[in-house]
Structures are given as structure tokens and as C-alpha cells.
Amino acid sequence: MAPIEVKKICCIGAGYVGGPTCAVIPHIQVTIVDLNQQRIDAWNSDELPIYEPGLDEVVKKARGKNLFFSTDVDKGIEEADLIFVSVNTPTKKSGIGAGFAADLKFLQLATRRIAEVAKSSKIVVEKSTVPCRTADAMRTILEANSKPGCHFDILSNPEFLAEGTAIEDLFAPDRVLIGSLQTQQGLDACAALAGVYANWVPRERILTVGLWSSELSKLAANAMLAQRISSVNALSAICEATGANIDEVAYAVGKDTRMGSKFLKASVGFGGSCFQKDILNLVYLSESLHLPEVAKYWRAVVEMNEYQKSRFANKVVDTLFNTITGKKIAILGWAFKKDTGDTRESPAITLANHFLTEKARINIYDPQVSKDQIWLDLTDYGDIPAEPIKPHVTISQSVEEACHNAEAIVICTEWDEFKTLDWQKIYDNCPRPAFVFDGRLILDRKALTDIGFKVTSIGTGDRL
Ligand SMILES: NC(=O)c1ccc[n+]([C@@H]2O[C@H](COP(=O)([O-])OP(=O)(O)OC[C@H]3O[C@@H](n4cnc5c(N)ncnc54)[C@H](O)[C@@H]3O)[C@@H](O)[C@H]2O)c1
């Protein structure tokens, strides 16, 4: 049988994954649809809704040619042979599995819509991160609601891009993973999607596996990456207590080729929309499978991350002579990591809340996060009233403004621009003693100490 040729693609969900992932597909017509009018308008404008190095150029080159953004979800579905489902799958906030399980309502709504609208057979691709065996539920929904003659093949194709390097990752991925049922139809659908990627990804990097392995591999990869960060952060606490230096320890450990050097940078903790949510998802899956020890093991990775954030916040308070009431603290960086404007689960939010509870005044600066977004984060999207904290919060337009008169400067995000600041000038505008807390290990501790700052870095003890 001739391989299935994909002529038109639709992607449901124009977010951090749907937008960049589809923008790099060459030749084939791709329409990215979303219910959020504001987001689609932004994708169609000069101010894209997300910041990602290189994204502007890629989108501007393809938009209007083979790349389209629309709120007409039904038309997108109807016209496509292959549909990526790239909607959000956040952690459930209430009900069974609250705080752990993935909330699949957006995925199920999108699946239902596909079944209701499709007039011809489609390949439906799970791109969202989902618990293992979600494709089963999707198949049941699709089969129960489809029109006669419409057949759906479901593939799992998890996205491994990292925010901040998404375009690089997408153009030259370590691997593309496609999971399918091992039936002839499943394998044909898998070959069709592999054919799409083969337009720019070498064949040996396109891995094809069973559906359930593919779904689980995404959770497994994130859990193991986060586990390395929690391990190195646990060691950073030992370094601080012993006089060892975490950067030196990480360097020595990372030189072991069995280990490798990546994901060994100690920090104030990991953030982002995926690590915590995906590990909790794995914890819930383990519990559902009656594997409490496995659940406990993965839960500890998240607990270590919470510990690292509160340990760092407490260190700021301790160092400022056990009180920060009324003191001005500059928070440099609000995004969960550099080169993204994404703030989901950012450690900066936890630190800011901690400082506000201690009645400090905080000045926040981030080069890519808007004032509105910072307020949404501080008020937990409206759940916490803004009025009581307003007098204690200033959102600054520059580092200098944020640090002016600050008793403590706290680095929360590793933006490159923080490495090359005029620290002498900043010091001249700070009261004495002037404290710097390097939550990302990016500053030259000696240079700052020579200027006169009292520097505290993650994983570096004072004991010689
Ligand atoms: N952000 C990352 O770095 C990353 C990396 C790999 C995988 N993932 C996974 O990819 C998925 C998407 O993540 P994201 O960061 O792009 O989320 P996001 O919240 O940025 O985007 C999801 C989009 O889907 C839209 N949407 C929801 N339901 C819809 C529906 N029924 N019809 C049309 N549009 C709908 C929303 O309006 C939103 O714009 C998640 O499962 C996530 O875990 C994320």
C-alpha cells in the first residue's frame, strides 16, 4: 500500500508548544487554531504572544505562506488529514487526584470536537503531555462520536523542546518520538507522521515505538531531568554546610561520561509548566497502579525543590539579621529561566510571596515579563486580593531602578544581562551593608565582594 501523504495539518492549541512546533514545519500547510482570540490575534501580529529566541523570524517567514493562525477550530479540523492536539494539561486543582493528576478536560474537549466535526478519516496526534494510556480514552471518545466511514488513528508524539531553546531544539531535535498501535493501520499512520518530520529531521533520529511507551517516555524524561536538579540542589545544601563548592562538585561529577554535564547546575529550584506537573502526574500514576514506594520516590524530587526554594528564602531573612520587615529587596528575574517570558511555577513567585509574608518591600525586574503577568502571578490569577500587597510591590523598568536603595538584591533568573551589570554603580546606590543573593550561580563572587557586597551564593559555604 502507498504511504499516506499528509497534505494539510491542523494544530489545536496555539501555546508554547503548538506555535513553535508547527512554525518549523516546511512546505506542508499548517493551520494552528485556538479558542483564545487574543492569542491568535497576537500570533497574527508583530508582537507574538510568547518570547522565544529565533521564533519571530521563523513565524514571519512562514506566516501567510504555509503557516496560518485562526480561531476557526472546526474549519481547521475539517480540512486537515493530520491533527496535532497541543492543548494545556495542567495539574488538577480539585476532585479526585487534585494536586497531582493531569487535568485532561481541554484534551477531551478538543478530541470530542474532532469527532463531531470531522467528515473524513484523520490521524490524531497527542502532542500534549498526558498520563500513560490517555490514547485509549481518546479512541473511545472518537469512536463513540464519529460519523460513519470516518476512521481515526491515534499517535503519541510528545514534545521534548525546552523553552528558551525551542527553535534550536525543534530544528535539530535529539530525537522525535512517535508511538503507535502496532497494527498495520497504526504503523501506516506512524509512517505518515514520520514522513512529515523527515522533511528536516534525519531518519535515524525519528524513533518509532508502541503507544504506551511513547506516552510514558515523556513523563520519564522530565522526571529524570528534574531529579538531577533536585539531586544537585540537595548537594548544594551540603556544600554550604561544609565549605565545598557546588559548581566544583558538579563539574567533577559531570565529567564522568556516564553522567554528563547537563542539568547539574545548582539553583534556587526548578520551575516551568512541565517538571512539577509531570512528576506529580507520575506520582499519581504510580499510586493508581498501587506502587506507593515508586510514588514516594518521585514525590521526593518535588519536595526537594520546595525545600530548596524555602531554604534560599530563609537564608535571605537570616542574613538580613533575621528581619526583612520594611526592607527593600530587589528581585532580578521573574521568568522561570532565561530566554523565556514564561513564569509558570517560577521560583521567583515563591520567593516574592515569602518576602511579602515577612512584610518586606519588593522591587521586581524582568526583561521579558510584563507588569500584568507579574500581577497575575502575585495574585494567583485573582485568587489573592491585590490591594493589601500593592504598597509593598514595585515593578521596575530597569535593573538600576529595581536595585536603587535596595538592602538586598536577589537573582532569581539567570538572564545573561545580569552577568555584565555595572555592579559598582549599583553598589554606590545601595545602603550598607549591601547584600547580593545569587540564586543562579551566575555572578563573579570575588569581583562583587571586592566592590564591597556581601555575597551569598547557592552551594558555596563560607568555611574554608
Ligand atoms: N511548555 C513547554 O515547555 C512544554 C514542553 C513540552 C510539552 N509540553 C506540553 O504541551 C502541552 C501544551 O503546553 P503549552 O505550554 O503549549 O500550553 P499553553 O497553555 O501555552 O497552550 C495551550 C493552548 O491550548 C488552547 N486550548 C485549550 N483547549 C482548547 C480547545 N479545546 N480548542 C482550542 N484550543 C484550546 C489554549 O487556549 C492555549 O492557548 C501541555 O500538555 C504541556 O505539558 C509543554
- pLDDT per position as a tens digit, 235-280: 999 999 999 999 999 999 999 999 999 999 999 999 999 999 999 9
Q: In sequence order, which residues have a C-beta less than 8 Å from that of residue 155 and are 6 or more positions away?
A: 123, 124, 125, 126, 178, 179, 180, 186, 189, 190, 193, 211
Please state whether the predicted TM-score (pTM) of the whole model is above 0.85: yes
Read off the amino acid at residue 120.
S
Edge to edge, the sheet with strand 152-156 lists 67-70, 29-33, 8-12, 82-85, 122-126, 152-156, 176-180, 206-210
Q: Which tens digit of pLDDT belongs to each residue from 138-164?
A: 999 999 998 999 999 999 999 999 999
Rounded CA-CA distance 110/145 in Å is: 13
Any atom of ligand 1 within 6 Å of the Cβ of 125: no
pLDDT for 102: 95
pLDDT for 2: 73
Any atom of ligand 1 within 6 Å of the Cβ of 266: no
Centre of ligand 1 to C-alpha 87, Å, is 4
Closest ligand 1 atom, residue 163 Cα? 3
pLDDT for 463: 60
CA end-to-end span of the chain, whole Å?
A: 71
Q: Do residues 127 and 88 touch, judged by C-beta distance below 8 A?
A: no
Q: Is 274 a catalytic residue?
A: yes
pLDDT for 1: 65
Q: Which of 274, 403, 412, 430 is catalytic?
A: 274
DSSP assignment, residue 289?
T
Any atom of ligand 1 within 6 Å of the Cβ of 18: yes
Nearest CA to 123 among 167, 175, 68, 85?
85
Centre of ligand 1 to C-alpha 360, Å, is 35
Any atom of ligand 1 within 6 Å of the Cβ of 87: yes
| pLDDT under 70: residue ranges of the chain | 1, 463-464
Site to substitute for ligand 1 among 33, 51, 85, 88, most atoms within 8 A of C-beta: 88
pLDDT for 96: 94
pLDDT for 461: 80
Count of beta carbons in the 10 Å neighbourhood of residue 417: 11
